[in-house]
Amino acid sequence: MYDDNDMCRGDHEYDQMRDREILERLRERDDAIIAEARAQLAVLTLARQIGAS
């Protein structure tokens, strides 16, 4: 039989697992945003170099 402490512990573990999943998705999103920004910077840098030639 479960008591209230077991249920709270289960809820806490579930919350921690959910939080880890959310953080992982946020990291993946941030990595994608950073990669896109780096690609745009590379294009702008190349365009500036071509324009300066």
- What is the DSSP track for 9-53? HHHHHHHHHHHHHHHHHHHHHHHHHHHHHHHHHHHHHHHHHHHH-
pLDDT over 90 (residue 29): yes
pLDDT over 90 (residue 49): yes
What does the pLDDT average to over 32-53?
96
> Could you tell me the residue ranges of all domains in the chain?
1-53
pTM, entire model: 0.68
